[in-house]
C-alpha cells in the first residue's frame, strides 16, 4: 500500500523534475535560438517579428572586408593557441602524473590558477606587466595571452586521460628495451591521442570566442571576431550581427562536435570486432 | 615416499648467496645479496639473499604484501633497492636502467599495447635490438607458433580473449631471448579452466626454451605444480627455499605449514622423549608418539603439524589415534574433506579418499596418523631438525 503511495509521489516528483529541466534548457538555449533564427530574417531590423526568410545577411558578411579580416585573425590566433597549448598541456600532464618531485602539488595548483582568476583581472594584469617592461602590444602577445587562458583546461583534460593510462604499458615498453623517450613516443603519446585532440579543440574554442581579455591585449587596429561584433554593436543592431553570431556558434560548437565524432569513429574502428570465444 | 625428517635440509636463515643450483658450478642467472628494499620508513623486503640457477623455474610464493612482487620488480629495475646488490648473469645491475637489463616481463593484466596489433606487440622488443626486418618477421612467426596462436599477427589485443592475450604477452616477453623471464601473477586474471591450461603451457615453453623463469604467485597450487624451486616469503623475508616436495612435506616454519595446504597444527607438550621419537600430550587431550629428529626436553611446548591428507579415517593400524565430532563434510566426488572438532577447542581438517559412506555432520569418527606422517615445530614455530 505504502509502496503505491510512494510510486504516485515518485511520479509527480519526476514530472516536476522534467518540467524544471525543460525550463532550464529553454532558459539556456532561447537566446542562442533567437540569434540563429533572426539571422535568416529578411527584415532590416535585427528583431522579431520575422518578415521572411533570407540569406542576404550572410551574403553581406562575405562582402564585409573588416569581418573577413577579423575572422582570419581569430582563426590564426586560435590555431596557434591550440598547437602550443596542446604541446604544453601534454608535457605538463605527463610530468604531473608520472613523476614525483618536491613542490609538485604547488605546481599542479599553479598551472590551474589562471582558470580561477577572473579574465578581466588577467587581462589588466598582463597589460600592466608589458607596460612595466616597456613592450608594445603585438599579435604575438595576444596569442601568448590566449595560451595563458587555455593551458589550465588542456592540462586538466590531458591529466584526466593520463591518470587513466595504466603504468604497466609504459613498464612493458621499458622492459622490452625502449628508452624513456621511445616509450613516450611509441606508447604513451598514442594512448593520449583522445586527450590531445580534445585539448586542441578546447584550446581552439577558448581562444576563438574569447572577448574580454582580447579587448585588453589586441594591438591597435586588430580585431578578432568577438571584438568585431562588439564594435559593430556600438554602431547599430544590424541583422548582420545575428548572422555573424550564428557563424561563431557553428564554429565553436561544430568543431568540437566534429572532433568528437572523428575520435569516436576511430576508436570504433579499433574495436570493430568483439573478442572471439576461447580457442 | 615416506618423508623422513632426518633428511630435510635448507637451513634458516639462508646464508648470503645461497646457491640453489645444487652442484652445478655455473654462474647463477640472477643473484640477490643482502637486498633490502624500503619505501620511506616501510621496509618491504629485508636481508634477501637468493641465487637462481640458469634454466630453472623459481617461484616466489607468499600472501599479498609479503614483498614477492617487489622482489620481481627489483630484478626488472622498476623498484630501486636500498641495500645490497642484484646481479643478472654475473653483471651487477643496481644502476642499470630497466631498458638495458634484457629481461622479459609478463604482467597480471597482460599489458599488451592496445593500439598495436599482435605482430607489432611481439616485435616491439626486437625493434630495439638491431634485428633486421626479415629476421623480426621470422622470430615473431616462430614465437606465435610457440604460444599456439600462429596467424594472429593482424589482430588487435581487444579482439583476443584473456587467455590469448596472455599468450601474446608471453610471446612478446620471450621473442628476444631475454636472460630471465619474470612473470608477475600471470594467471590470476584468467578463469579457472584457462588457468590450468596456461600453467602447463608456460611450463612447457620454459622447458623448451631453457629460459630462466621467476614466477610470482600467491596460489600454492601454481607454485607446487610449476616450480623447480619455491621461495616462500612472508612479511618481507624468506621463510623457506626448497623444491615443491621439500616445502610441502617438511615446512620449515609454522607459516609455511599453514600457507601451503592449510596443515593441522596440534599444540602440545613433550611428555617423553627417546633419541628418535617423542611422545606429545596434545592440548586437545590425546597423546601422540611421533618421530623426532633429536631428543627433546620433557615439558617443551611443541606443535605437531599433520597434513589433512595424512589423517586417515577409521580404526586403522596407524600409530596415533584421535577422535572427534564432524563439524562439516565437503563431498568432492572422489574424496571428502572433513572438519573435525577433536576437543580442547582444536579443529582439524582431514582430506581422505571415500571409504564407504562419508560421515555426516555431528557424527563421531576415529582418526589416525603415522608417527612419521608429521613435522614437529618448536615454541618459536621453527621446524625441529
pLDDT at B23: 41
Chain B CA closest to residue A275 = B159
Contact A270 B156 (CB under 8 A): yes
pLDDT at A262: 79
Residue B119 forms part of a structural domain: no
Residue A41 forms part of a structural domain: no
> Which residues of chain B does A182 touch, with a Cβ-Cβ cutoff of 8 Å?
128
User: pTM for this structure?
Assistant: 0.79
Residue A17 forms part of a structural domain: no
To the nearest whole Å, the CA of A216 is away from the closest chain B CA by 45
CB atoms within 10 A of CB A34: 14
> Which residues of chain B does A172 touch, with a Cβ-Cβ cutoff of 8 Å?
105, 107, 111-113, 172
Residue B144 forms part of a structural domain: no
Residue B170 forms part of a structural domain: no
Q: Are residues B276 and B241 in the same domain?
A: no
> Which residues of chain B does A191 touch, with a Cβ-Cβ cutoff of 8 Å?
114-115
Residue A11 forms part of a structural domain: no
> Which residues of chain B does A271 touch, with a Cβ-Cβ cutoff of 8 Å?
156, 158
Is residue B80 less than 8 Å (CB to CB) from chain A?
Answer: no
The string of pLDDT tens digits covering residues B55-64 is: 999 999 999 8
Long-range contact list for B197-204, CB < 8 A, 24+ apart? B197/B163, B198/B163, B198/B166, B198/B167, B199/B225, B199/B226, B201/B147, B201/B148, B201/B167, B202/B170, B202/B226, B203/B57
Residue B131 forms part of a structural domain: no
The string of pLDDT tens digits covering residues B261-292 is: 888 999 999 998 888 888 998 888 888 888 88
Contact A168 B114 (CB under 8 A): no
From CA A146, how far away is CA A213, in angstroms rounded?
Answer: 8
Residue B152 forms part of a structural domain: no
Residue B126 forms part of a structural domain: no
Residue A103 forms part of a structural domain: yes
Is residue A172 less than 8 Å (CB to CB) from chain B?
Answer: yes
Helix (H) or strand (E) run with residue B216 in it: strand B212-217
> Which residues of chain B does A165 touch, with a Cβ-Cβ cutoff of 8 Å?
none
Residue B12 binned pLDDT confidence (cut-offs 50, 70, 90): very low
Q: Are residues B328 and B350 in the same domain?
A: yes
Q: Are residues B84 and B201 in the same domain?
A: yes
Is residue A173 less than 8 Å (CB to CB) from chain B?
Answer: yes
Contact A278 B163 (CB under 8 A): yes
Q: Find the angle CA(B107)-CA(B109)-CA(B113) to the nearest 5 degrees.
A: 85
> Which residues of chain B does A177 touch, with a Cβ-Cβ cutoff of 8 Å?
99-100, 102, 125, 128-129, 176
pLDDT at B8: 39
| Residue A146's CATH number | 1.10.3720.10
Residue A132 forms part of a structural domain: yes
pLDDT tens per residue across all 279 residues of chain A: 455 556 777 888 899 999 999 999 999 999 889 888 888 887 776 667 777 788 888 888 888 888 888 889 999 999 999 999 999 999 999 999 988 888 888 988 888 888 888 988 988 998 898 889 888 888 888 899 999 999 999 999 898 889 888 899 999 999 999 999 999 999 999 999 888 888 899 899 999 888 888 888 888 888 888 888 888 888 877 778 888 888 888 888 888 888 888 777 766 655 544 444 333
> Which residues of chain B does A180 touch, with a Cβ-Cβ cutoff of 8 Å?
99
Q: Are residues B81 and B197 in the same domain?
A: yes
The string of pLDDT tens digits covering residues B18-49 is: 444 444 446 899 999 999 999 888 999 999 99
Strand order in the sheet with B237-242: B103-106, B180-184, B212-217, B57-61, B229-234, B237-242
Contact A279 B164 (CB under 8 A): yes
Q: What domain range includes position A163?
A: 60-265
Residue B53 binned pLDDT confidence (cut-offs 50, 70, 90): very high
To the nearest whole Å, the CA of B215 is away from the closest chain A CA by 16
Residues of chain B with pLDDT > 90, as a percent, come to 60
Q: What domain range includes position B58?
A: 5-102+179-258
End position of a domain, from candidates B258, B279, B314: B258
Residue A174 forms part of a structural domain: yes
Nearest CB neighbour to A177, from listed B78, B114, B125: B125
To the nearest whole Å, the CA of B224 is away from the closest chain A CA by 26
Chain A CA closest to residue B120 = A186
Chain A CA closest to residue B149 = A279
Contact A182 B194 (CB under 8 A): no
Q: Are residues B250 and B274 in the same domain?
A: no
> Which residues of chain B does A185 touch, with a Cβ-Cβ cutoff of 8 Å?
none
| Residue B39's CATH number | 3.40.50.300
To the nearest whole Å, the CA of B109 is away from the closest chain A CA by 8
Backbone angles phi, psi at B303, to 5 degrees: -125, 130
pLDDT at A271: 52
Chain A CA closest to residue B161 = A275
Q: Is the pLDDT of residue B328 over 60?
A: yes
Contact B222, B347 (CB under 8 A): no
Q: Are residues B245 and B349 in the same domain?
A: no
When divided into structural domains, chain A yields a total of 1
pLDDT at B21: 44
Contact B226, B59 (CB under 8 A): yes
Could you give the C-alpha distances from B72 to A53, B23, B86, B237, B250, in angstroms and in order?
A: 73, 25, 11, 14, 26
Residue A14 forms part of a structural domain: no
Q: Are residues B272 and B243 in the same domain?
A: no
End position of a domain, from candidates B258, B274, B307: B258
Q: Per DSSP, what are the bridge partners of residue B60?
A: B216, B231
Q: Are residues B206 and B328 in the same domain?
A: no
Contact A177 B128 (CB under 8 A): yes
Q: Are residues B209 and B356 in the same domain?
A: no
End position of a domain, from candidates B227, B258, B289: B258
Residue of A166, A170, A177, A187 to mutate, interface with B, max B Cβ within 10 Å: A177
Residue A16 forms part of a structural domain: no
Is residue A9 less than 8 Å (CB to CB) from chain B?
Answer: no
CB atoms within 10 A of CB A264: 11
> What does the DSSP assignment read for B187-213?
TTTS-HHHHHHHHHHHHHHHHHHT-EE
Residue B372 forms part of a structural domain: yes
Q: Are residues B291 and B237 in the same domain?
A: no
Q: Are residues B248 and B288 in the same domain?
A: no
The string of pLDDT tens digits covering residues B127-181 is: 999 899 999 999 999 999 999 999 899 999 999 999 999 999 999 999 999 999 9
Output the nine-digit C-alpha cell for B228: 623447480
pLDDT at A268: 61
To the nearest whole Å, the CA of A201 is away from the closest chain B CA by 22
Query: Would you give the DSSP letter of residue B217?
Result: E
The string of pLDDT tens digits covering residues B217-258 is: 999 999 999 999 999 999 999 999 999 999 998 999 999 999
pLDDT at B251: 92
> Which residues of chain A does B156 touch, with a Cβ-Cβ cutoff of 8 Å?
270-271
From CA B320, how far away is CA B369, in angstroms rounded?
Answer: 5
Residue B284 forms part of a structural domain: yes
> Which residues of chain A does B74 touch, with a Cβ-Cβ cutoff of 8 Å?
none
Q: Are residues B270 and B366 in the same domain?
A: yes
Is residue A273 less than 8 Å (CB to CB) from chain B?
Answer: yes
Calculate the CA dihedral of residues A162, A164, A166, A169 and round it to 10 degrees. Answer: -60
Is residue A167 less than 8 Å (CB to CB) from chain B?
Answer: no
When divided into structural domains, chain B yields a total of 2
The string of pLDDT tens digits covering residues B62-113 is: 998 899 999 999 999 999 999 999 999 989 998 899 999 999 999 999 999 9
Amino acid at each position: 500500500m505504502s509502496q503505491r503511495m510512494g510510486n504516485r509521489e515518485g511520479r509527480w516528483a519526476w514530472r516536476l523534475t522534467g518540467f524544471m529541466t525543460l525550463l532550464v534548457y529553454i532558459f539556456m538555449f532561447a537566446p542562442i535560438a533567437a540569434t540563429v533564427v533572426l539571422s535568416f530574417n529578411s527584415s532590416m531590423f535585427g528583431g522579431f517579428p520575422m518578415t521572411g526568410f533570407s540569406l542576404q545577411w550572410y551574403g553581406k558578411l562575405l562582402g564585409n572586408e573588416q569581418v573577413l579580416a577579423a575572422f582570419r585573425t581569430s582563426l590564426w590566433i586560435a590555431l596557434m593557441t591550440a598547437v602550443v597549448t596542446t604541446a604544453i598541456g601534454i608535457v605538463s600532464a605527463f610530468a604531473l602524473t608520472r613523476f614525483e618531485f618536491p613542490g609538485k602539488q604547488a605546481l599542479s595548483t599553479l598551472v590551474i590558477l589562471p582558470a580561477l582568476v577572473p579574465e578581466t583581472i588577467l587581462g589588466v594584469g598582463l597589460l600592466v606587466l608589458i607596460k612595466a617592461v616597456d613592450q608594445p602590444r603585438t599579435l604575438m602577445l595576444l596569442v601568448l595571452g590566449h595560451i595563458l587562458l587555455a593551458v589550465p583546461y588542456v592540462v586538466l583534460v590531458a591529466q584526466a586521460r593520463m591518470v587513466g593510462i595504466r603504468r604497466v604499458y609504459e613498464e612493458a615498453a621499458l622492459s622490452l628495451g625502449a628508452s624513456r623517450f621511445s616509450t613516450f613516443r611509441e606508447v604513451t603519446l598514442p594512448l593520449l591521442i583522445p586527450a590531445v585532440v580534445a585539448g586542441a579543440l578546447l584550446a581552439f574554442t577558448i581562444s576563438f570566442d574569447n572577448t574580454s581579455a582580447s579587448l585588453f591585449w589586441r594591438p591597435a587596429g586588430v580585431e578578432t571576431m568577438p571584438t568585431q561584433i562588439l564594435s559593430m554593436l556600438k554602431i547599430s543592431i544590424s541583422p548582420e550581427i545575428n548572422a555573424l553570431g550564428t557563424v561563431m556558434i557553428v564554429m565553436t560548437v561544430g568543431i568540437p562536435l566534429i572532433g568528437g565524432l572523428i575520435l569516436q569513429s576511430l576508436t570504433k574502428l579499433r574495436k570493430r570486432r568483439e573478442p572471439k570465444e576461447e580457442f | 615416499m615416506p618423508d623422513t625428517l632426518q633428511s630435510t635440509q635448507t637451513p634458516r636463515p639462508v646464508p648470503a648467496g645461497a646457491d640453489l643450483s645444487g652442484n652445478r658450478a655455473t654462474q647463477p642467472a640472477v643473484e640477490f645479496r643482502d637486498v633490502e628494499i624500503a619505501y620511506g620508513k616501510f621496509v618491504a623486503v629485508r636481508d634477501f639473499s637468493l641465487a637462481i640457477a640458469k634454466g630453472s623455474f623459481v617461484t616466489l610464493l607468499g600472501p599479498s604484501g609479503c614483498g614477492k612482487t617487489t622482489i620481481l620488480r627489483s630484478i626488472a629495475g622498476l623498484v630501486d633497492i636500498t641495500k645490497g646488490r642484484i646481479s643478472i648473469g654475473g653483471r651487477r645491475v643496481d644502476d642499470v636502467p630497466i631498458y638495458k637489463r634484457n629481461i622479459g616481463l609478463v604482467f597480471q593484466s597482460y599489458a599488451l599495447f592496445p593500439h598495436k596489433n599482435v605482430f607489432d606487440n611481439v616485435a616491439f622488443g626486437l625493434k630495439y635490438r638491431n634485428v633486421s626486418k626479415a629476421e623480426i618477421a621470422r622470430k615473431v612467426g616462430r614465437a606465435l607458433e610457440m604460444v599456439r596462436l600462429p596467424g594472429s599477427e593482424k589482430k588487435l589485443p581487444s579482439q583476443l580473449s584473456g587467455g590469448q592475450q596472455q599468450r601474446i604477452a608471453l610471446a612478446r616477453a620471450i621473442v628476444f631471448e631475454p636472460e630471465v623471464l619474470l612473470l608477475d601473477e600471470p594467471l590470476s586474471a584468467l578463469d579457472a579452466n584457462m588457468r590450468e591450461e596456461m600453467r602447463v603451457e608456460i611450463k612447457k615453453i620454459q622447458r623448451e626454451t631453457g629460459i630462466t623463469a621467476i614466477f610470482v604467485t600467491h596460489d600454492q597450487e601454481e607454485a607446487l605444480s610449476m616450480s623447480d624451486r619455491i621461495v616462500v616469503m612472508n612479511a618481507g623475508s624468506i621463510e623457506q627455499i626448497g623444491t615443491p616436495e621439500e616445502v610441502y612435506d617438511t615446512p620449515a616454519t609454522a607459516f609455511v605449514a599453514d600457507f601451503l595446504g592449510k596443515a593441522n597444527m596440534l599444540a602440545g607438550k613433550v611428555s617423553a622423549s627417546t633419541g628418535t621419537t617423542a611422545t606429545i600430550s596434545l592440548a586437545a587431550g590425546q597423546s601422540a608418539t611421533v618421530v623426532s629428529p633429536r631428543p627433546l626436553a620433557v615439558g617443551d611446548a611443541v606443535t605437531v603439524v599433520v597434513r589433512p591428507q595424512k589423517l586417515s579415517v577409521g580404526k586403522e593400524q596407524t600409530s596415533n589415534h584421535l577422535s572427534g565430532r564432524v563439524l562439516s563434510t565437503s563431498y568432492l566426488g572422489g574424496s571428502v574433506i572433513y572438519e573435525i572438532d577433536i576437543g580442547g577447542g582444536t579443529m582439524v581438517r582431514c582430506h581422505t579418499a571415500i571409504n564407504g559412506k562419508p560421515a555426516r555432520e555431528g557424527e563421531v569418527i576415529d582418526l589416525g596418523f603415522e608417527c612419521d606422517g608429521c613435522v614437529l615445530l618448536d615454541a618459536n614455530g621453527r621446524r625441529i631438525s
